[in-house]
Amino acid sequence: MLRWFLLPYFDACPSEMEFLMRKIVVKSSQLQESAVERLVKVCVVHFISDRPCFGFEWVYLGFDKTLVLSNGVLCLSCREFARWKVRNTAIERRDLIRNPLPLMPDFQRSVRMLGRRPSTQQFIDTIIKKYGTHILISATLGGEEALTMYMAKNKLDRKMVNATQGVEALHQLASSYFIDRDGTMRKLHEIQISSNAIKVTETRTGPLGCSTYDNLDSVSSVLLQSPESKLHLQGLQVIFPEYLQEKFVQSALSYIMCNGEGEYICQSSHCICKCAEDFPQCNCPTTDLQIMENTLVGMAETWEASYSDFENSDEFKSFLKRLPATHFLPVSSVHLLWGSDWDLQNRYRLLQSSLEVQRLKIQRTARKLFGLSVRCHHNPNHQMPRERSVLQWLNRVQSFLYCNENGFWGNFLESQRSCVCHTGATLCQRPIPCVIGGNNSCAMCSLANISQCGSCNKGYKLYRGRCEPQNVDSERSEQFISFETDLDFQDLELKYLLQKMDARLHIHTTFISNEVRLETFFDPRWRKRMSLTLKSNKNRMDYLHMMVGLSMKICQMRNSSVDPMFFVYVNPFSGSHSEGWSMPFGEHGYPRWEKVRLQNSQCFNWTLLLGNRWKTFFETVHIYLRSRAKVPTVLRNDTGQGPVDLSDPNKRQIYIKISDIQVFGYSLRFNADLLRSAVQQVNQSYTQGAQFYSSSSIMLLLLDIRERINRLAPPVAPGKPQLDLFSCMLKHRLKLNNSEMIRVNHALDMYNTEILKQSDHLTTKLC
């Protein structure tokens, strides 16, 4: 409901025309950031002109525009005119004592209710919320007239010259419309009758004279708000007494800038809102901050959507399809293919341009967000998105190639040649192809297993799916140690023979134990020691022995809950117990014991299948047995050889017996004298200071033998060197002392690095 606080006041007008404006709502252009888009209500008084009939006055602002459409030409000639300049004559009266303002009674009562020292809240509730903060001083009234002409192309002359001339003539007629309206309309009417190619529309809005103001409400439709016809406002404080003017301005600013939740205070050109107790966050534009935070979230989603659009583009998909899948692609190879794909590079530049525009928008919004939150009790949490580098895109390509399996995704780590799947398991990892090129070793990956090499280049030999330098002819090495025998079966054949416990793989060993007797029950609750030895360095010096499996037959009493544990140490070429290594069951891919129950008995076959991958040299196998249930030391039988009381049911359940124990493998012919002579040649050359490459054939031969022996060492943790089995063979089978072993190994290392230019593989001393 509108309230009027100025009574009617008119100048002399022949037609006694009065113009009354009800209410105008405008946006303030001088507000600070905290008051953006706040509306200032303006309640306006009567506008009385000081000229008869508003002082007739023409002011024009016009333009012409021609649009060439697909099916014709549209020509628009428009003019806006300001006909009257109106102003508030009541406010111009400065002598308010003799000629007081014609205020409404309600407004006067509201002013009197303020008293001498009103508070800010009183001003807001009594005056500002009812009557606003500004009054209208002057404005411009007028209208608009326009001429629209449309020329159809299909009805123009077929010749392009005539069509162009027709458009130019049409434009000239439109320009002369406001100069000679009657003549222009007559010519257009003649053209329209003769050619039927032109349609003319003439429109007018706004007042054409004083007689059009029969209804006062129609005046609001002709108020001009163009930049040339500005509205002039003035603060409402001009109609208040002087002692209330300053307080009103402060209250109005508090209402506009602080939303009525505090007082607007300025000190040293620094203005803030002093919040009321009920509104401690009045300086914090919570709504604006929430809008900006949501905007930033949407921008971040748009940023990620740009990456998804790039990955789903035809250029990126075709690039992935063209990548070779027959071998492994390191980052360097992917980079070369990435840079040579011109279509992909053009699409990538479009992505970079789009991200740069988005980044600038995000920065501007983030600056506004942090600027608005200066006076808030909490700071916004926003992190600028980072553009992916080329290296990240290359790693992304590798992830698409090797970590996209079974509907799962992951990230590829080239340093480890493995995937980190998002699900935690390795379900996303595909078989990673072998590496070709580089050191020119592998020529092609295996067709049966792409992760292994299928063929090697010249100078290399294939072994267990990888290529190794072929320094010497394998037949010469066979003269010293027969690494290849008739019992060197393939993996599937060897596994089948081990499961069947084929007699061809039996190796006769001597069972030695002071604590355990075969086919005799014993108490395994503390450590028991057993050994299986060959004593080949004394009895069979012409052979080295290879172990491919181990089997034990263990019987338990009925309802026994004891599950024995085995610790196995292997001496590859005899020696003391400290010169053996422990089998790492279940670690680094090493196999575990397999337990199979025999039919209709309480006996179990415990089998360890090493196969070709983990087969190794052995001379003595030490087995330590301990059950999972331990007893205190005071209850142990120190000898362990006393009679077993099987009548006691409580003790009977823990007893076990070992019926059989067997090592599976085969023997290799070993020419110790021939190998010792070759080693002595290297030792003498090194001792005399001669060039070690003078006997290059011997050096290559010993390098090949050392590499093939150390290859059969047990697995170790990643990054740790392997055990040196070759030195153990020199010590125990060739009877070299420590200084001789050091000289031979050092000579081989120097030849390998300085002559062959190959990297030296570090080993850990065992013997």
318 and 379 inside one domain: yes
Q: Which pLDDT score, from 0 to 100, does residue 22 have?
A: 26
Mean pLDDT in residue range 264-277:
82
In the predicted structure, residue 317 carries a pLDDT above the cut 90:
yes
Q: Are residues 576 and 718 in the same domain?
A: no
Residue 509 — pLDDT band, cuts 50, 70, 90?
confident
pLDDT of residue 761: 72
**What integer pLDDT is reported at residue 35 of this predicted model?**
31
The more confident residue out of 565 and 322 is: 322
Q: Mention every residue, 6+ apart, whose C-beta is less than 8 A from residue 142.
A: 59, 80, 81, 82, 83, 84, 206, 207, 222, 224, 229
Element of type H or E holding 172: helix 160-175
| pLDDT for the residue numbered 57 | 40
pLDDT at 316 over 90: yes
pTM over 0.75: no
- Judge whether residue 350 has pLDDT over 70: yes
Task: Give the domain-ending residue among 237, 257, 277.
Answer: 257
Q: What is the pLDDT of residue 307?
A: 94
The predicted pLDDT at position 443 comes to: 84
The parent domain of residue 732 ranges over 672-764
Distance CA 465, CA 643 (A): 55
Both 229 and 111 in one domain: the answer is yes
The confidence band for 156, taking pLDDT boundaries of 50, 70 and 90, is low
**Residue 330, token pair as written in the block:** 């390191």
Kindly state whether residue 445 falls inside one of the protein's structural domains. Answer: no
Q: For position 56, what pLDDT does the model report?
A: 35
Whether 404 has a pLDDT exceeding 80, the answer reads yes
Q: Which residues contact 688 (CB under 8 A, 6 or more apart)?
A: none
**Backbone CA torsion sign across 121, 124, 127, 130:** negative
In the block, which residue shows the tokens 């063979």?
Answer: 729
Report the half-sphere exposure of 336 (CA within 13 A, side-chain side).
Answer: 6
Per cent of the chain over pLDDT 70 is 76
Determine the distance from the C-alpha atom of residue 535 to the mean position of all C-alpha atoms in its chain, rounded to a whole number.
61
Whether the per-residue pLDDT at 318 is higher than 90: the answer is yes
pLDDT at residue 159, as a whole number: 41
| 98: phi then psi, degrees, rounded to nearest 5 | -80, -30
Beta-carbon contacts of 282 under 8 Å, excluding residues fewer than 6 positions away, are 258, 259, 261, 262, 273, 275, 276
State whether 253 and 299 are in the same domain. Answer: no
pLDDT in tens, 184-213: 888 888 888 877 778 888 877 765 444 444
Is residue 652 located within the same domain as residue 689? no
Report which of residues 269 and 431 the model is more confident about: 431
Averaged over 424-450, what is the pLDDT? 79
pLDDT by residue (tens digit) across 716-765? 877 788 899 999 999 988 888 988 898 888 888 888 887 777 777 788 88
Residue 44 is given by DSSP the state: -
Average pLDDT of span 505-520: 85
Residue 81 lies in a domain: yes
Residue 450: helix, strand or coil by DSSP?
Answer: coil
Average pLDDT of every residue of the chain:
76
CA 326 to CA 332: how far, in whole Å?
A: 17
Q: Is residue 688 part of a domain?
A: yes
Convert the pLDDT of each residue in 620-651 to its tens digit.
898 888 765 444 444 444 444 444 555 555 55
- Same domain (yes/no): 700, 625: no
Three-class SS state of 660:
strand
Which tokens is 562 given? 């004891």
Query: Beta-carbon neighbour count of residue 618 at 10 Å?
Result: 25
Task: Say if 425 falls within a structural domain.
Answer: no
Please state the rounded mean pLDDT for residues 468-486.
72
Are residues 82 and 214 located together in one domain of the fold? yes
Residue 566: beta bridge partners?
Answer: 625
pLDDT at 42 over 60: no
Among the listed residues 263, 236, 239, the one whose alpha carbon sits nearest the alpha carbon of residue 251 = 263
Pick from 236, 257, 278: which residue ends a domain?
257
Q: What stretch of H or E contains 666?
A: strand 656-669
How far from the centroid of its chain's Cα atoms is residue 187's Cα? 70
| Tally of domains in the chain | 4
Looking at per-residue pLDDT, the higher value among 457 and 640 belongs to: 457
User: Looking at the structure, do residues 630 and 682 belong to the same domain, yes or no?
Assistant: no
Residue 365's pLDDT is what? 92
Rounded CA separation 534/537 (Å): 8
Among 389, 430, 398, residue whose Cα is nearest residue 331 = 398
Question: Is 652 a domain residue?
Answer: yes
Q: How much is the pLDDT for 38?
A: 29
Residue spans of alpha helices (H) in 45-91? none
**What is the per-residue pLDDT for 4?**
36
pLDDT of residue 630: 44
Tokens representing 188? 């257009």
Q: Is 97 left (phi over 0), alpha (psi -120 to 50) or beta?
A: alpha
Q: Give the integer Cα–Cα distance in Å for 435 and 466.
A: 9
Shared domain for 656 and 741, answered yes or no, is no
User: Which helix (H) or strand (E) covers residue 395, if one does?
Assistant: helix 390-402
* Tens of pLDDT, residues 95-123: 555 666 677 888 888 888 888 888 888 88
Whether residues 42 and 166 share a domain: the answer is yes
How many CA atoms lie less than 13 Å away from 674 in the CB half-sphere?
A: 15
pLDDT (0 to 100) of residue 27: 29
Please report whether residue 639 resides in a domain: yes
Question: Which burial class, exposed, middle or buried, applies to 307 when counting CB atoms under 10 A from its CB (0-12, 13-18, 19+)?
Answer: middle
Predicted confidence at residue 97, as pLDDT, reads 57
pLDDT at position 690 over 80: no
**Hey, CA dihedral for 569, 573, 577, 578, is it positive or negative?**
negative
Residues 125 and 145 in one domain: yes
Query: In the structure, what pLDDT confidence band is assigned to residue 46 with cuts at 50, 70 and 90?
Result: very low
CA distance 17 to 6: 18
- Which of 193-197, 244-248, 433-437, 709-713 is predicted least confidently? 193-197
**Contacts by 247-253 with C-beta closer than 8 Å and gap 24+?**
247/117, 247/118, 247/120, 247/123, 248/123, 248/127, 250/120, 251/120, 251/123, 251/124, 251/127, 251/128, 252/123, 252/128, 252/133
Please give the average per-residue pLDDT across 69-95, as a whole number: 71
Q: Which of 238, 257, 276 is the last residue of a domain?
A: 257
Compute the distance between CA of residue 104 and CA of residue 5 in angstroms, rounded to an integer: 4
Query: Rounded to an integer, what distance in angstroms lies between the CA atom of residue 690 and that of residue 707?
Result: 24
Q: Is residue 12 part of a domain?
A: no
The answer on 48 and 28 residing in a single domain is yes
Q: For residue 410, is it within any domain?
A: no
